[in-house]
Structure 1
Amino acid sequence: MITQEQIPTVLDHPVYDADGNKIGEAKHVFFDDATGRPEWISVKTGLFGTSESFVPIRDASVVEDHLEVPFAKAKVKDAPNVDVDAGGHLSEDEEHRLYDYYGMAWDDAWQQANEPGEGGWAHGGTDDRTDTAGSRTTTGTGRSAAAGTGTGDDAMTRSEERMRVGTERREAGRARLRKYVVTEEVQQTVPVRREEVRVEREPITDANRDAAMSGPDISEAEHEVVLHEERPVVETETVPVERVRLSAEERTEEETVRGQVRKEELDTEGVDDDRRDR
């Protein structure tokens, strides 16, 4: 159990369960009117802290800058809804419901609160209690809320909610880079050469007469010429053309978030308008 001196270090600080999961923010500590000891703590839960759940503080402990309670996060968030009255007290019926929900013995708690000596209200209590036989009255068993500033101040605290907006990183999609092979038709024009037969005739002149008369007068002869041509030859080679990679680029955009917050306003009765804001 935490001590009254530790309350300022608990309020508005995170509350975690035994597995290290954050439940919410501690907002109010409720004291036992009989023993004066911290008994319950209210925890703001939900996306914007719009819900408030009650959890026993009896077995809670302060660890560094946060409070740890021996109940699972889901257990605390599903606790019965309790509407605290204007005086900041839990009714007997509401406290019964919370005791039953958390599996705590109401009789044991009541008996402990009424034991004489340290721990019970019979030890130096200043309240006017006429019921000392253990009857469960709202006055004797109520739990008063504390904001960590004492209970003897006659000033009224005005509070308001403020929206806290943060960001969370989540997966928005995936990009994949892969390569595959396609075949396409290409064409290219190249010059090719070939040889053709051409018959050349020349008249007999004094220059070639001797060559022409060197053979027999009349005979058969045959002469062969080999013809050549070029044909296109296709070969392929693999060459690198570019390097491609994927990279993630972070871009910041402005996004408007809307929510609802509550605040307390003050109204006075029996006060002159000229003195109201002084």
Structure 2
Amino acid sequence: MITREQIPTILHRPVYDTDGNKIGDAKHVFIDDATTQPDWVSIKTGLFGTSESFAPISDASLVEGYLEVPYTKDTVKDAPKVDVDAGGHLSGEEEHRLYEHYGIDWDAAWQRANQPQPGPGREARGTDDAMTRSEEQMHVGTERYEAGRARLRKYVVTEEVQQTVPVRHEEVRVEREPITDANRDAATAGPDISEGEHEVTLHAERPVTQTETEPVERVRLTTDEQTEQETVTGKVRKEKIEADVPDEDDKRRR
């Protein structure tokens, strides 16, 4: 049985069914007005916890940091959806539908809830002349949600790069030299009068480019967790007791 003192331990903890399947995370715990004991737990289910289902908590148990309810995952997820009012209460009709879904006897549960509940520091109602004053307490927790996404995207751009490189080429130049004793034999080696031609191949250089890929940088995304203080405002109900006592003038007139 889950007690009120265990509520902070339950909130935002995983909830499992009887077969060890995770149903979701505990979001809210609802207190029975008559017994002042935990009665229902709302469980965030579905993708990213977008849905909320209700399950009885009276027979649940806290096991090694998670809550185990005596129902299957499908039973909890198929429970009737209810709209909790601003005061954090289930209406009688909504609670009745939930009892029917989980096969709990509504009349027996209602009678049991409205019986006097003795406890430490609290006498059963009707056994003395005192009146018990009760009030609600608000338990505040946190839930994690998706606030946005950041991504790395790699794309290719083309830039124009200029470099200056020397290139060489050959040019033809006609050289004439007079006949001397040193070159006379070579000059008279051929026929006296003839026709002929001599060809020289000219060479030149031109720039060529070649590219190769080299890694230059590693980029990654990291997240830093920041803690901020936020003030949470809620509404809780409390009972007040006023005494209607006759004054002295009324006593004298009697």
TM-score, length of structure 1 as denominator length? 0.47
Q: Which amino acid is 1:58 matched to? A: S
C-alpha distance in 2 between matches for 1:9 and 1:160:
14
| Distance in 2, Cα, partners of 1:104 & 1:266 | 35
What is residue 3 of structure 2 aligned with on the other side?
A: 3
- Map of 2:85 onto structure 1: 85
Distance 2:94 2:23 in 1: 22
Q: Give the 3 Å change call, closer, same or farther, for CA 60–164 of structure 1 in structure 2.
A: farther
1:163-220 CA distances to partner (integer Å, 9 max, x unpaired)?
Answer: 299xxxxxxxxxxxxxxxxxxxxxxxxxxxxxxxxxxxxxxxxxxxxxxxxxxxxxxx
Deviations 1:28-60 (A, max 9, x none): 000001110000000000010000000000110
Query: How many pairs align?
Result: 148
- Look up the equivalent residue of 2:18 and give its one-letter code: A
Matches within 5 A, 1:11-90: 11-90=11-90
Q: Is the 8 A contact 1:29 1:147 kept in 2?
A: no
The question of 1:148 aligning with 2:155 is answered no
Contact 1:18/1:69 (<8 A) preserved: yes
Residue matched to 1:122? 125
Whether 1:162 aligns to 2:145 is: yes
Q: CA RMSD in A?
A: 3.4
- Residues 114 and 121, structure 1, Cα contact 8 Å, conserved in 2: no
> Structure 1: how far apart are the matches of 2:70 and 2:134?
32
TM-score, structure 2 normalization: 0.51
Q: Verify the 8 A CA contact 2:35 2:117 in the aligned structure 1.
A: no
For 2:13 and 2:232, locate their aligned partners in 1 and report how far apart those are by CA, in whole Å.
27
What secondary structure, in the 3-state scheme, does the structure 2 residue paired with 1:26 have? Answer: strand
Q: Mind listing any 5+ residue stretches in structure 2 that lack a counterpart? A: 149-219, 222-230, 234-254
SS of the equivalent of 2:85 reads coil
Q: Identical aligned pairs, as a percentage?
A: 60
Q: Deviations over 1:127-170 (max 9, x none)?
A: 59xxxxxxxxxxxxxxx8x7535xxxxxxx9x7761299xxxxx
SS at 1:19's partner residue? coil
Deviation, structure 1 residue 5: 1.1
Take 2:11 and 2:58, find their aligned partners in 1: how far apart are those partners?
16
SS of match in other structure, 2:48: coil
State the distance in 2 between where 1:161 and 1:19 align.
Answer: 26
